[in-house]
Amino acid sequence: MRIVSGIQPTGEIHIGNYLGAIKQWISLQEENECIFFIADLHALTVPYNPKELQDKIIEKLVCYVAAGINPEKSIIFVQSKVKEHAELCWLLNTLCPVGELTRMTQYKDKSKKFKDNINAGLLDYPVLMAADILLYKGQAVPVGKDQEQHVELTRTIARKFNQTFGQTFEEPKELFPKSGAKIMSLTDPKKKMSKSDDPKSYISLFDSPENITKKIMSAETDSGKEVIYNVTKKPGISNLLTIYSLLADKPIKDIEKEFKSKGYGDFKKSLAKVLIDYLEPFRRKQKELQTRDVYVKEILEKGASRAKTIAETTMQEVNEKMGLI
């Protein structure tokens, strides 16, 4: 299968991004043709600082590789380096009703959050995402649950294109992990963990052991003291149990048993240790990559050139079918 997915270079990549998306990418790259990009054009739709953005783009590449994406196996590149993303987005815009875009949950949430900057790019985000996927004729998109609506819209746009201009695109399907498709905020377990929130609400992949311990020990828990999975009654503990189970590779039932006669404090201490141990190799690899600028640039150049070859072929076909010369 051809797999396509990306992450915006906003904030710091957290364990929600990892468990929802990157962890799937790592296993998928073994047997599929994978295309992973840094979605810098998407990041322009919310307020940002241009100098910081440049640093964040490189930071994200380092993060992908440190977390286990293999540049020999997968194509890794920066979205804006392949101009066909923006070009296809424009063409697909002409097929997408505005009404479809105004009903998108992410658009509604972000327009509320950034009241002073409700720009046309924010509204058009899902069409650019459709272009990101269809440009490579992606068949599957490993993402977290929050992106479900956008992949659904990609299918609608692909269908409309095929009906209007002839069969061109396969309708891509979303790939959610069995568990971890929606990791919740540590400070408010009713909200999803998000890069643009307060750093106390997430564990970054490169947080120091001290910070991990602090954040986990002060994570919002629920009344009572039993370590039991119950999303409605105990959303905080259930979220922590999900993280524990995925990182320690243990069923939730076994973790509940282990902490049956212990309280939240012991459970949290143990979870902090699980996180620290799991993320230790990531921190080590990050440090090593930070000293290898040339290698990092090479990955991006090689990735963009491989991506461009596929993108140009699709654009030629799309331009012809749409009547452009």
Q: Which residues bind ligand AQP (CB under 6 A)?
A: 7-8, 10-11, 16-17, 19-21, 143-144, 146-147, 181-183, 192-196
Instruction: Provide the minimum distance between the beta carbon of 138 and ligand AQP in the complex, in angstroms, as a whole number.
Output: 13
- The one catalytic residue among 182, 192, 215, 268: 192
Partners of 287 in beta bridges: none
Name the residue whose CB lies closest to ligand AQP: 20
User: Catalytic residue at 195?
Assistant: yes
Residue 105 and residue 39: Cα distance in Å, rounded?
19
Alpha-carbon torsion 72, 74, 77, 82, what sign? positive
Q: Which is nearer to ligand AQP, 42 or 81 (CB)?
A: 42
- The one catalytic residue among 81, 110, 182, 234: 110
Answer for the pair 66, 289: CB distance below 8 angstroms, yes or no. yes
User: Catalytic residue at 215?
Assistant: no
- The one catalytic residue among 23, 60, 195, 215: 195
Q: Which is nearer to ligand AQP, 7 or 66 (CB)?
A: 7
Residue 34 and residue 17: Cα distance in Å, rounded?
17
Instruction: Provide the minimum distance between the beta carbon of 83 and ligand AQP in the complex, in angstroms, as a whole number.
Output: 21
SS3 content of the chain, % helix, strand, coil (to 5): 60, 10, 35
Query: Which tokens belong to 209?
Result: 């052991």
Instruction: Provide the minimum distance between the beta carbon of 20 and ligand AQP in the complex, in angstroms, as a whole number.
Output: 2
Answer for the pair 279, 209: CB distance below 8 angstroms, yes or no. no
Instruction: Provide the minimum distance between the beta carbon of 325 and ligand AQP in the complex, in angstroms, as a whole number.
Output: 35
User: Catalytic residue at 287?
Assistant: no
Q: Which is nearer to ligand AQP, 100 or 146 (CB)?
A: 146
Give Dmax (Cα) for the chain: 72
Q: Which is nearer to ligand AQP, 14 or 234 (CB)?
A: 14
Query: Which tokens belong to 75?
Result: 């194509």
Q: Which residues are catalytic?
A: 110, 192, 195
